A and B are shown apart, each in its own frame.
Chain A
Amino acid sequence: MPKSDTAIVMQSWVEAFSDKMYLWTLYKTNSKETAEDLVQDTFLAAFQAIEKFEGKSEPKTWLFSILNNKIAEHFRKAYRNPTINESDRNVDTEVSLFDTFFDSDGNWKKEQRPKEWHRDEGNLLDNAEFINVLQGCLRKLPNNWFAAVQLKYIEKKRGELICQELEISPTNFWQILHRAKLQLRKCLEVHWFKN
């Protein structure tokens, strides 16, 4: 394809798909900046690899497959390299997180003991109010905890495999998920299930 033709095709794809791709990425990353960056990267990668696109799949499918790889790569990076401030914060968060929930013997503090949730109303994910609460709670997680949560559910892979790709020990991974889950559970309880 001559270069000018490629540019025209790409431009029409940007017009047709960039909004959907942006929203999809925003939904996953919870960050406007990150979403814009990843969508831009995707089109750049597509532009450079256009020779490989032979029209065997829909352009939209092809673009989204590149995008999803970029999103997963983003979370792997975020998990591996929390910024310095972030990791400082984690040490604090970690200590106070466990201290919030457990006494010195490691048992639930009386007021923190989980009790059954009674609020249960069909499909929560159809409820915009609940989605708001969930997104708010996810946003409060430290960056690399959030990345760990995303990696666990995005790829539907066994834990060992995720850890192999990240080159980290499984122990480290599920300990981070443990902390993330404790915090997330509490947040959902306070903002939703207790109401």
Chain B
Amino acid sequence: MKKIMYLIMLPCKKVTELIEKRSLVGLSFKEKIQLHLHKTMCDACTAYQKQSKKIDELLERYIHTSDTNNSGSYQNHELKQKIINNLS
């Protein structure tokens, strides 16, 4: 009985793992059902999935945003000198 319950109702730890797997490589049919069933009964994992997606969006935009717009005043003379010395 416990085994059947496990098959139907995965523990939250496993479910959060599936949520990350989903966004990276996708889920099998069985995993999709397991995830869906679990979420219908678990507010915490539903919230986790929402937040996980939000973090994905934030990181994706963060990593592709250039932060060099405000570099006008930034000068790293030491580094420049090091590079120039290396090249000659």
Residues of A within 8 A of B (CB): 7, 10-11, 14-15, 18-20, 22-24, 27-28, 36, 39-40, 43-44, 47, 98, 101-102, 105-108, 113-117, 124-125, 131, 134, 149-150, 152-154, 156, 158-160, 170, 173-175, 177-178, 181-182, 184-185, 188-189
Chain B, residue nearest A24 (CB):
B68
Chain B contact-residue range equals 35 or more
Q: What does DSSP make chain B's interface, helix, strand, loop or mixed? A: helix
Number of contacts between A and B (CB, 8 Å)?
Answer: 132
**Would B79 and A22 count as touching, CB distance under 8 A?**
yes
**Would A36 and B16 count as touching, CB distance under 8 A?**
no
**Would A106 and B24 count as touching, CB distance under 8 A?**
no
Q: How far is the CA of A154 from the CA of B54 in the complex (A)?
A: 17
Q: How far is the CA of A18 from the CA of B82 in the complex (A)?
A: 11
**Would B87 and A43 count as touching, CB distance under 8 A?**
yes
**Would A170 and B25 count as touching, CB distance under 8 A?**
yes
Q: Knowing that A10-B84, A39-B83, A115-B47 touch, tell me 18 more A-B residue pairs with CB under 8 angstroms.
A: A18-B79, A19-B75, A20-B71, A22-B79, A23-B71, A24-B67, A24-B68, A44-B87, A101-B13, A102-B11, A105-B11, A114-B45, A115-B44, A117-B54, A125-B61, A156-B60, A170-B24, A181-B20
